Structure formats: C-alpha cells, structure tokens
Structure 1
Amino acid sequence: MPVLPPLVCLAPNRQHEAEAFAVQFALSLQDHLPSDGYALVLRETQLSLEHPHAHGAVMAEFVEGAAAHRRQFGGGKGQPVAKAIGIKGSYLPQVVDATAGLGRDAFVLATLGCEVTLIERSPVAAALLADGLARAAAHSDTADIVERMQLVHADAADWLLTLDSAQRPDVVYLDPMFPDTGKSAAAKKDMQAFQHCIGDDLDSERLLAAALQVAKKRVVVKRPRLGERIPGPPPNAELQGKSTRFDFYVPLASRPPR
C-alpha cells in the first residue's frame, strides 16, 4: 500500500506556501524531517520528494536538466510521443494526459504547441507538478510553454466523465504504472519513490474505458516495448520503439456504426 509522506518546510519564508500546499493536497505538515521514510520537502528553490537514505531527490523539473536538453535537441515533431498523439504538419491536437506523473511527456507536447490538461490523482505527484509548473512559469525560457499546461488534481476516470461535448479532448494519453514483475532492471529513483508513495494504477481498465468514451480522435497508451496491455478491448494499432510501445485505440464516438 502507498504511504503518504508528510510535508516539511525548510524555508521559513515559504511557510505560508507550505500551509497552502498542505490544504490543497491534504498533506500532513510537519516541522522536521523524518529519520526514515519519504517526505515532501519544500526548500528555497523547489519542492522535492526525498528520503534520508537515498541519493538525490525527485521533483518535477521543466526548466533545467533533461527537460532543457529534450526541449532543445529532442527531435521536435519527429519524437515518438508526438507521432503517437497525431501531431502532423500544423495539426496540434488538444490532449488530456490522464496519468500525468511528473509531467515529462505533457511538457514535450506543450513545447510542440499542444494544449495539454494534466490530470493527477496522487497528492504527492500533484504537489510536485504544481511546484514544477510554478517554477517554469516564472522562467523566461518556459513561461509560454506552461501557459498551454493546466493541472487538475482529480481521479482521471471520474473527471473525464464530467466533460460535456464541447470540452472533450482530441486525444487522451495514458501512461499507467503497472506492478513490478521483478523481470526488469532496478527502477529509477523516481519510480522507486512513486511505487512507495503513490502505488500502481490497478484500475487502469476503468480509466481506459472512460477515455474511450470521451476522446474525439484517439486514445494512446504508453507501455514498455514488451509490457502487458491494459485489460479490456485490444488496441487497433501500435507504434513500436526501441524501449517503448504506444497502443492506439479508436474512441467509441469515432467508430463507424455496425
């Protein structure tokens, strides 16, 4: 079972922000770091998920590091995720990323010009995303990109089914976390932290069903190349990469009548 970490503020001048985070995401606010276990730590420069016995911290980063490199040299519209959601020429679909996580793919799509709604039900990931988006909005290199990104803290399947016909997105994008089968290499630190604090998406079949009811053009599911498919209807097509596979589904509204 996932363990919800406490929120610890180590920047006295950001105490009011910490209190707002605690209320918004229903987090327990503490005044000291735990001796063991994960904590969301608000410092002067960022909010991060940290563990006293683990090297490094997990955060949503859109300005520097890998995000900056991918923004400049990632391959533009030729990237697999861009092809998967259907970017072609001047066509830029409106996208709902229903399993936003740390927002990496959503940021790529927004960089390419798409309007992206990020849905994240985990209070941990949603808090990290909110902080990362706020930092990116304050930076000149990324402010215009973040304007195309909207974060919603909600259960994605429930949220999708509240949309009326005018609000339905062109594409619903899913990248669910599946249980570790023990066959893969050791997970990266962010995946290890997420497994502990967030858990797996054990109801991905329900989310896929909701996405198929709502999307106008396609539903796209990102999986490891040899990863299992979401239970339910089989995909209509797939796009294979070296380490990743995208499964494509035709939404119910787009299927021809029988």
Structure 2
Amino acid sequence: MAQKLDTSSLIVDFVGGPVGHRFRSGEGRGQPLARAAGFSAGVTPDIVDATAGLGRDAFFLAALGAHVTLIERSPAMHALLAEGLERAHAAGGRHAETVDRMTLIHGDSCSLLPGLNPQVVLIDPMHPPRDKSALVKKEMRIIRDLVGTDPDSAKLLNIALETAQHRVVLKWPLRAEPIPGVRKPSHQILGKSTRYDVFVNRRIGAASL
C-alpha cells in the first residue's frame, strides 16, 4: 500500500506565492478561464466552483468581479480554504474586496447544485493520473491524498448540465480523454497544458454568456 503523504505543508495562500503574483499582475478577462466562464464586455457572470480545491481559480474569477460560490466536500480542504480566505480578508485592500465576493460552502455539489440555480458552473475534478514518465507535482499528490479521486465526476458534470442556467465549464488536461457518459461540449478553449470544455445551455439569456 502506498504511504500517505504528509499534508501539514499544504496551505491555501491568496496573498503570497504564485496566486499573489498572478493577482498583482492583473491578469484580465482575455485569459482562457475567464473566456470559458463567459466574461465579456459588460458581462460578469455569477459562478459556482463545484470542486473548489485550493480555490485558486475561484479567487482569480472573483478578482475579475464575479461573485463565486465555492463548494468543497473534503472537511480538511474546506478548513484550509476557510483559513486562506480569512488571511486574505485580513490583508485588506483588493484582497479583502475579492474574498468578499467569495462564499464558501462545505458539502457535496451533486446535492447542492440543484438548489443554487447557478448561472455558470466550473468543474475541475481530480485529473486522471499521468503516464509513468511524467512526474506529478508533490502538491497535487498531497491534494489527491486529501480529497480522493472524484470517481463521480460524470455524475457531477451531468447534474451541473441539468441545473446551470447558462453554461458549464470543465477544466481538464489538454490531451486527456473526455469523461465517459457526458455529451460533447459546445466548444473548447485550449491553453498550454489545460483545456476548457464549455457546455452552453440553450436557454433564455444564455446567448449573452
């Protein structure tokens, strides 16, 4: 049996490190994630991050002005997120303004999404293991130990497709196979190592997002 990694080094930091640098650099709405989520001139969607994890994407989207609801079912990860949000709020200024647009919920998105009536749902499940020649960063191995492997990704994605008013965004490795049992995306936005599968729900008002 594989030995569990020490999770005590894992921290959610929205002020320093790579997230803080990204925040200070002022990355805008032209980034792939923002485009996938439906940001455009005059349009700032409300978003549910259904697999919050370290909260980095949620923080980026909130920094662009979106109100973001983060759902995390792992008690340990939820606690780390709560601490990170508190530290960012204590930092004041733009950090506090950003986290004031973020609402953290502990629970299972499969159960919670139908009651939230979300405009846009972002899903970033644990990604499939890479081949043996590629090393997975230690941080990601710790997170996998902490939150598990998300075997219900297809179920969550289909529930999101049933409940999202405008669109669902799946963040997925660039060359990974699609999740079985899910319809094809409306379109894809490609990054260097990540792709965003965008599923547009053809409902009233959806065209604006």
Give the TM-score normalised by the residue count of structure 1: 0.73
Q: Distance in 1 between matches of 2:78 and 2:91?
A: 20
Contact kept, 8 Å, 2:54 with 2:81, in 1: the verdict is yes
Counterpart in the other structure of 2:24 = 72
State how 1:60-99 maps to structure 2 within 5 Å.
60-99=12-51
Q: Distance in 2 between matches of 1:139 and 1:253?
A: 40
Counterpart in the other structure of 2:174 = 225
Q: Distance in 2 between matches of 1:70 and 1:178?
A: 23
Instruction: Name the structure with the higher helix share.
Output: 2
> Which shows bigger deviation, 245-254 or 96-105?
245-254
| Aligned-CA RMSD value | 2.1
Q: Distance in 1 between matches of 2:102 and 2:165?
A: 19
Q: 2:112 aligns with which of 125, 140, 159?
A: 159
> Which shows bigger deviation, 201-210 or 70-79?
70-79
Q: 1:107 aligns with which of 40, 54, 59?
A: 59
Deviation at 1:252? 6.7
Deviation at 1:74? 4.9
Q: Unpaired segments of 5 or more residues in structure 2?
A: none
Structure whose CA Rg is larger:
1
Contact kept, 8 Å, 2:161 with 2:168, in 1: the verdict is yes
SS of the aligned residue for 1:138 comes to helix
Q: 2:159 aligns with which of 199, 210, 217?
A: 210
Task: Tell me the amino acid that sits aligned with residue 245 of structure 1.
Answer: R
SS of the aligned residue for 1:150 comes to strand
Q: Unpaired segments of 5 or more residues in structure 1?
A: 3-35, 40-48, 51-56
Aligned residues: 203
SS of the aligned residue for 2:176 comes to coil
Q: Percent identical across equivalent pairs? A: 47
Deviation at 1:188? 1.3
Q: 1:235 aligns with which of 181, 185, 189?
A: 185
Runs of 4+ in 1 over 4 A off after TM superposition: 36-39, 252-255
Deviation at 1:182? 2.7
Q: Distance in 1 between matches of 2:160 and 2:65?
A: 22
Q: Cα deviation per residue 1:168-209 (whole Å; 9 max; x = unaligned)?
A: 221000011133143562111221101222211110111011
Q: Cα deviation per residue 1:29-79 (whole Å; 9 max; x = unaligned)?
A: xxxxxxx9556xxxxxxxxx32xxxxxx22111011111110121521121
Q: Distance in 1 between matches of 2:97 and 2:62?
A: 9
Task: Tell me the amino acid that sits aligned with residue 209 of structure 1.
Answer: N
SS of the aligned residue for 1:96 comes to strand
Contact kept, 8 Å, 1:216 with 1:253, in 2: the verdict is yes
